[in-house]
Homo-oligomer: A and B are copies of this chain.
Amino acid sequence: MTNQVQLLGISNAIVDILAHVDDDFLNEVGAPRGSMTLIDEQRAHEIYDKMGPATEMSGGSVANTIAGFANLGGSAAYIGRVSADQLGEIFVHDMRALGVDVRTSPAANGLPTARCHVLISEDGQRTMQTYLGACTELSTADITEQTVGTPKVVLLEGYIWDIPEGPALAKRAMQIARQNNLTVALSLSDSYCVERHQSAFFEAVKDGVDIVFADEDEIIALLKKQSFDEVLPALSDFDNLFVLTRSQQGSVIVQNDNTIYQEAIKVDKVVDTTGAGDAYTAAFLYGWTADQPLAECARLGTWCATQVIQQLGGRVEKDILYDYRKA
């Protein structure tokens, strides 16, 4: 019997290797500032060899969201593939330690657990070089009535479309969700990812996805627009709930003709932008699954994103909701 949870995440299960770099380093390894690049194992070794001393933490976009959601007090489950190696053990531990029901067993054979080299610039901007490893072995067989269960929300990430069976397993998850009347949310990951899979994402948003989480660049790429100004008018063609984050310009929540603007919170020093969007999504969904008004969901999301950019890594450890209630 599958545990009943509010939120299920399906995503690439990744351990982050975080280190500070300067722009010379980014130039040397040919990594565009702020980008996420998929790399093979040999390139992963090359990058790592060049990097300074690092810190390791569990990461992954929707995996961060699931961890954040559980940390806020929500009940969550997770589907994502790691190998039965030390990094895989770390990833699964960090999920289970938050009470997350991990529904995919570490693979005894195959590729090693995925790692993302997170190169953090002085201003907190993060550039990512990701080796997907064991993630690429996630398959449609992992997505069943049993493993999906009946959560209130099934959350997918755009990056899932980057793995061989990703499009098929995402479709399977959406089918199971529809049969059981579950809400499907999609986090668009990054604008390059949207460009790689624009038509698949567009089709999913038109049919299967209920809530879309995106930043400016991602929603512009999805709708093939030139600027964010063209985005808002175009959204009236959709029935989805759009949650659009705009960094210092706050966020905008749009559903049909209902539009809510949420201001950003000013921060003295951005340490590391890793996980800002993921934390926003976690807290937004925490509010949403607790039937909070959209404006309150947006406030919660903003609060959590603000916490995560003031620390190293993509997951907030402390009791942020306690601080939120105090504030």
Chain A contact residues, CB within 8 Å of chain B: 19-20, 48-49, 51-58, 67, 85-87, 90, 93-94, 96-98, 112-113, 312-313, 315, 317-318
Contacts and interface: CB of A to CB of B under 8 A. Distances in A.
Nearest to A89: B48
Contact of A317 (B48, B53, B57): B53
Nearest to A57: B55
CB-CB nearest 4 A-B residue pairs = A56-B56, A86-B86, A53-B94, A52-B97
A179 to B, nearest CB: 34
Nearest to A115: B86
A93 B317 contact: no
Contacts of A54: 90, 93-94, 97
30 contacts: A19-B317, A20-B317, A20-B318, A48-B93, A49-B93, A49-B96, A51-B93, A51-B97, A52-B98, A52-B317, A53-B58, A53-B67, A53-B93, A53-B94, A53-B97, A53-B98, A53-B317, A54-B90, A54-B93, A54-B97, A55-B55, A55-B56, A56-B56, A56-B57, A56-B90, A85-B85, A85-B86, A86-B87, A86-B112, A86-B113
Contacts of A315: 53
Given A19-B317, A20-B318, 12 more contacts: A20-B317, A48-B93, A49-B93, A53-B58, A53-B67, A53-B98, A53-B315, A55-B55, A56-B56, A56-B90, A85-B85, A86-B112
Contacts of A85: 85-86
A214 B58 CA distance: 36
Contacts of A55: 55-57, 313
A68 B93 CA distance: 30
Residue of A55, A58, A94, A312 ringed by the most chain B CB atoms within 10 A = A55
